[in-house]
Amino acid sequence: MTVIVFSDSHGSDYAMRQVILKQKPYADYFVHLGDGAPSFLALCEELSVLGYAVRGNCDLFTKGNPLPASRVLIADEVKLYLTHGDRLGVGFSTEALSLAAKEQGCLVALYGHTHIADNRYLPATCENDTPIYLFNPGSIARPRDTGPSYGRIDVKGKEILLNIVRL
């Protein structure tokens, strides 16, 4: 199963459109982690692909059904926790993000907000702890690191491969 992940597009849909068109034959679904989520969902509908999104701090004025601040998706046997991250203080620390994802039984915590790509594995720190992957695809439109990017997650059973894709 393949999941393509975007964040922080801020209404600049050209690059997302190109990635969706390129990945459409291979991806099972597409995800947006906020700040541009409404236009992403409209794009998914237009291009007939399955898309999921959470609300970012700049998506607060979404009309109609408001987007959730977080949600859990299941890819094969792996639970993914989706959030923008602003409410969890990801600009300063990912500790609250890790805890929120673990409370939901998720192996992967997907987040945005910082506009900086992040792909880390945090092993369990004690006997009662669980490991977790932290994954931020960066920004496809307004990066604060080496350039525009998105994420690709490949899952087969319980095996997972997380990649940052630079444009």
- Whether pTM exceeds 0.85: yes
Give the pLDDT confidence score for residue 125 in this predicted structure. 85
The DSSP call for residue 30 is E
Question: What pLDDT, on the 0 to 100 scale, is given for residue 64?
Answer: 64
pLDDT in tens, 147-167: 999 999 999 999 999 999 999
- With a cut of 50, list the residues of the chain below it in pLDDT: none
Residue 77 structural domain:
2-166
Could you tell me where the DSSP H helices lie in the chain? Answer: 14-23, 37-47, 95-103
Give the pLDDT score at 62: 57
- Give the CATH number of the domain where residue 145 resides: 3.60.21.10
Query: What's the structural domain count of the chain?
Result: 1
**Would residue 32 be called left, alpha or beta, if left means φ above 0 and alpha means ψ between -120 and 50 degrees?**
beta
Q: Please give the pLDDT value at position 11.
A: 84
Beta strands in the chain (DSSP E): 2-6, 29-32, 51-53, 70-75, 78-83, 108-110, 118-122, 132-136, 149-156, 159-166
Confidence at residue 72, expressed as pLDDT on a 0 to 100 scale: 98
pLDDT for residue 126: 84
Question: Is 110 in a helix, a strand, or coil?
Answer: strand
